[in-house]
Amino acid sequence: MLRKAGNFLRYLFGILMMLAGAGYWKEEKAYALSLLLLGIFLLPVTWNTIKKRFHVAKALPVLLPVLLLVSACALTPVTYSSKETQKASAESVSVSVTAAPTKKATPTPTETSTPTPTATPTETPTPTATPTPTATPTPTATPTPTADPTETPTPEPTIEAAAEETAETQVAEESQPAVTAEEPQVTEAPQESDPYGGQLVWISETGSKYHNKNNCGRMNPDRAYQMTRENAEAQGYEPCKKCF
């Protein structure tokens, strides 16, 4: 158990030392190299590989990390604050050595300021307001009165004249013969027959049945044409139920 804890601590400190050495590599390479070597030789893996290839004394795994730690402490770089203090002390010493005797300051005569004359404010003339021209009203056109057309009174027919007119119209209606509306009679086209034999039927351009007359139903007589019943049935036409 103690051995495992020791190996864990060695791994932990070894990795930390290597990271610190990598961080100081740009500033202090000697210090960074000592930290990297210390971290490498702290790892148990390093000594296991060395022991497999070489014969190593038992005290070497302890002495070598201690020596590397001492060298790292000796090569520790000076911090920024110590550098600044050393620089400030060196500058103060150099200033005290090279400082010359100070001269007494001679008083310079002060110039008396002459009072500047104050300018009197001049009155600015106020501009007089110019009267704005008023718009003259335009005269409105007065509408001319139009004369109302006078209605001419129409003479009212008398009762006797009205009675005479009604009597004349009744006599004229009785004398005229009554016109009776004649009902249109639909003449059915007679059935025609082909001179070579067979019955002729009517067929429309858009229908699917053959008819006995050219005005059957909604059939248009202008677009109907004839053919024999046998040819119509051969072409797939069926007889109309209204005229057959």
Using CA atoms, how far apart are residues 236 and 225, in angstroms rounded to an integer? 16
Q: Is the pLDDT of residue 7 over 80?
A: no
Q: Assign 227 a pLDDT band (cuts: 50, 70, 90).
A: confident
pLDDT digits (tens, 9 = 90+) for 139-162: 555 545 454 544 544 545 455 555
pLDDT in tens, 84-106: 666 667 676 565 545 444 445 55
Average pLDDT, the chain: 67
pLDDT in tens, 12-69: 877 887 787 777 787 778 888 888 887 777 787 777 787 788 877 777 777 777 887 7
Burial string for 72-85 (b: 16+ CB within 10 Å, else e) reads beebeeeeeeeeee
| pLDDT at residue 189, rounded to an integer | 45
Band of pLDDT at residue 197, cut at 50, 70 and 90 = low
pTM of the shown model:
0.27
How many Å is the Cα radius of gyration of the chain?
70
**Which residues are paired to 203 by β-bridges?**
210, 225
pLDDT band at 181 (very low <50, low <70, confident <90, very high): very low
Q: Is the pLDDT of residue 222 over 60?
A: yes
* pLDDT band, very low/low/confident/very high, at 186 (cuts 50, 70, 90): very low
- As given in the structure block, the two tokens for residue 155 are 């003479």
Compute the distance between CA of residue 212 and CA of residue 239 in angstroms, rounded to an integer: 9
**CA distances, 145 to each of 29, 139, 148, 151 (Å):** 120, 18, 9, 18
In the numeric block, which tokens belong to residue 186? Answer: 């639909």
33 C-beta neighbours (distance < 10 Å), count: 17
